[in-house]
Amino acid sequence: MTIGWKTLDVGEKALIYNKDGSARIIEGPLRLFLFRELFKKMICYSANQKEYLVIKYRNGNTEHMKGPCTVHMNEIIHISVVVKNLISLDANEALIVYSQNIETQRVMRRIQFGPTLFMLGENEWLHNFSWHGTDPDNKTRMIPNQNKFTVLKIIADQFYYNVDEVRTADDAILRVKLMMFFELTDIEKMLNSTNDPMADFINCLCADVIAFAAKRTYEDFTETASDLNHLENFSQLVERSQAIGYSVSKVIFRGYFAHDKLQKMHDMMIIQRTELRLKYEREVQEQELIHKKLQADTERLEQEQQLELERLLHEQRLEKDELQHTLNLEKGKHEKMIDKQKMENKAKLNENLAKDRLDFQYLSSLHGLSVNVTDLLVTRAGKPARVTHIKASKDAAHIHIHHNDLSAYQTGSP
């Protein structure tokens, strides 16, 4: 019990208990005198825009009050008042929220996507995830229940993982180093299908790599290890990821590690193969050089032959043109000579024709004068006076000679 003055400032509250056990609430600013009364100042809780108050009442109820707000804790009705931060979600984050209907007692699940500031309701709680996570001391090792969270990332992500104790067909033991890229595409399917997607990914990676190596010898594995960069060699991983609402975009093969002795033998083989490959490449280069030299010589000979052929063809064309020119000149001369002879013959023919016409006119005029033109022509012709015919008889020993006296015909006597 207190006797004396008490002062309350602006915004302050206090509980005053009387001697009979009753209580009252007073609010400042105020100055009052207490006599045989108990004075208890009420604690003020405040929440800003990014906070909220969780108020638990003595009757069992709970109230969530979003800021900005203030509440004075009344120990008569309140058990506790707690200030909590609102859950900040980015655009690539989500919360799995469960709520229970008080009347039907039915629990519902919903997905809260960002970006937002989220406050839990009085009858709501969040899904707590507990997945395999990366070992802080070894990024290629996954530890169960290492990654515990409530905010679910829905952005593309990746992780490193080494598959140990991978045995080839000839019993060589290897460690295969991988890196996987994945993205959550269906949250509902993930929630209904698995409790730990990372464990599913690890198991499928191990199964696919072991199946890949079991069909190959160590040499075959070293030659075809780059095929582990292709998703078609991870059929179980792709199938399982689709079943749990994830998509695997890429798996990168980061190399492998073998036992020291096996690795040393492999290194020696690599050196030998490298030397053989260098010899082979040098031989190939020499052969290519010889081939190119022969090809260049062949092309040069072909060009020389082509030039010689063109020169001969050019000389032939010149000779042909010269002969053609000579023939054209001779042909011109011959044509001119023929034309000249034709003209001369034509002139002679014309002259003879004119002469014959004159003779015809002359003879016609003589015929008109009763002159015997025939005798005149015979006389002009200058025929011989006697013609001797020699005929052989059937008897070869006898020859008959007959003389015709043309003068008798000319004079008309026998």
**C-alpha triplet 185, 186, 191: angle, nearest 5°:** 130
pLDDT for residue 4:
79
pLDDT of 357: 87
Q: What is the pLDDT of residue 230?
A: 93
> Angle at the Cα of 199 (from 193 to 204), degrees rounded to 5?
90
Q: Which residues contact 374 (CB under 8 A, 6 or more apart)?
A: none
Q: Are 79 and 56 in contact (CB under 8 A)?
A: yes
How far, in Å, CA of 159 to CA of 138, rounded?
Answer: 12
| Alpha carbon 287 to chain centroid, angstroms | 34
Q: Which pLDDT value is given to residue 104?
A: 85
Low-confidence ranges of the chain (pLDDT < 70): 1-2, 259-267, 269-270, 382-414
Q: In the numeric block, which tokens belong to residue 121? A: 């309701």
**What's the rounded Cα separation, in Å, for the pair 144 and 132?**
4
Report DSSP state, residue 103: T
Domain range 129-258, its CATH number among 3.30.479.30, 3.30.1330.30, 1.10.3210.10, 1.10.10.10:
3.30.479.30
CB atoms within 10 A of CB 186: 14
The token pair that represents 125 in the structure block = 């709680």
The candidate with the shortest Cα–Cα distance to 129, out of 201, 194, 183, 179, is 194
Ordered by start, the domain boundaries in the chain are 1-42, 129-258, 272-369, 383-411
Q: What is the reported pLDDT for 7?
A: 82
168: enclosing H helix or E strand: none
Supply the pTM of this predicted model. Answer: 0.59
